[in-house]
Structure 1
């Protein structure tokens, strides 16, 4: 077995704080590689062999494996649970746009980071909740891929896109400074963050076992050291101390990160299928999982 360090992709937002603590305080022996554009970019890098592990959004991972006509083995499997609570996606438009609520978004232009990313997937979950998918065979939005959060903010102000969806607390600073305007929000109907490993790294790989143990310790430290968490989030990341403290009240990380509850993946898959993001012919939930909670997966 190779002794090379794991390359772990992550999104450099407040949710990454336990990873930082795992590395700083508990010797997580891995190369942490930031992916500001999110889960969709990590999928591309996993399939290219550029990273070994990704910590990203549940819906992005499931959408990536649930597509019909998937090439090869899909490139990764879901092996761990990072965050147990849902994610609040804020729905934003330009500060001076004549868009004032969700009802104004049908048949408009949605900005997304990448096709298949969480920001893409949740647009279709929103459309499904609003009944926009069943009323017409045409898509509910024109999709505009824009890669990064700063480009999404610029796009809704210059009308390249009409709206985009991003995590609430990451967006809040830009509501407060008047750059963008909030027109609604939507919660994921599933626990929000999962850990994946590229295929070829299976259960029993000592590097994965050590990674889960170190991240678990980082999670416990995060829970015990609230003010250190606030200092890190407000000092190194793009949040105010007040917003960091408010976020801490809303989030629950997994106490044991190894393994995945198949029912969570099945629910995610079913919602994405209903929303038209994936079809009937993609991987089943059990096939997406490389390590199942409460059971050994061969």
Structure 2
């Protein structure tokens, strides 16, 4: 089992480029599985032993381990850092929804999410907290939104805000921009994650000892090489993003100015996870005194992660 190539889940968006380079140019031996529906789906796949490692959004992974009803041992631990910069979540509605004119129009509306527990779900609560919509929602049957509409994929989310199934959804800015330019959806606003945006996690069942798992150590080495290559070959990155993925060359070039990948992917700063937990508690996603604490979510012996 330990000799089998790692099964790695990833989101098939522009952020996956260094992972692609790690496999193409540096011989990463792994089976890559795309999860267009994002972090929440990868958490399910980890728990069902469909993948060994996942690269996804910080808030989704932290929320997945921090809830009081997390099953068993949670199914995974946070072992690495992929992207150091925050993520810009664009807030979108339908092209012909004049009643939705600003972020303030979204209170008590129907929010489309990929999955319960996904980044799009978690960030809707961070938005509600920022806008002050949580002040009068202490009752368990009252929340900042009328409903959460689970729609799995980005294309279904776009359709939903146009046919009225949902009123708005949140997705990464540059992934959304093509559809603003085409007029399919309309941008209402944005919100940035108050933490570095992408982490790497490993299954507790198939990677029980991450610090000594040679496959995981190889992933970190090859991913570091992929990140370095990405930084030194921006033209190749733009070419890949604009041909293999759903972006224009102009948008890919602009995105490169906004993103900073971690040059040493192994390990996690526990303070980052603590901060994420604190904000998710404030937003009502996690509850004080319940669920895992930050040190329990991490693995010792991987980078400079513990104080």
TM-score (norm 1): 0.98
**Deviations 1:66-86 (CA, angstroms, capped at 9, x unpaired):** 000322100000000000000
Unaligned stretches of 5+ residues in structure 2 = none
Unaligned stretches of 5+ residues in structure 1 = none
User: Counterparts in 2 of 1:1-298, with a 5 A limit?
Assistant: 2-98=2-98, 99-137=100-138, 138-141=142-145, 142-200=147-205, 201=207, 202=209, 203-280=211-288, 281-291=290-300, 293-294=303-304
RMSD: 1.2
Q: Count the aligned residue pairs.
A: 297
2:269–2:306: 8 Å Cα contact kept in structure 1? no
Change (3 A) 1:80 1:157: same
Pairwise CA distance, 1:100: 1.1
* Structure 1: 4+ residue segments shifted above 3 A: none
Corresponding residue SS for 2:15: helix
Change (3 A) 1:135 1:262: same
**Deviations 1:231-254 (CA, angstroms, capped at 9, x unpaired):** 000010000000000000000000
* C-alpha separation in 1, matches of 2:133 and 2:118: 20
Pairwise CA distance, 1:296: 7.2
* C-alpha separation in 2, matches of 1:210 and 1:93: 42
Pairwise CA distance, 1:204: 1.0
Pairwise CA distance, 1:293: 3.4
Change (3 A) 1:296 1:271: closer
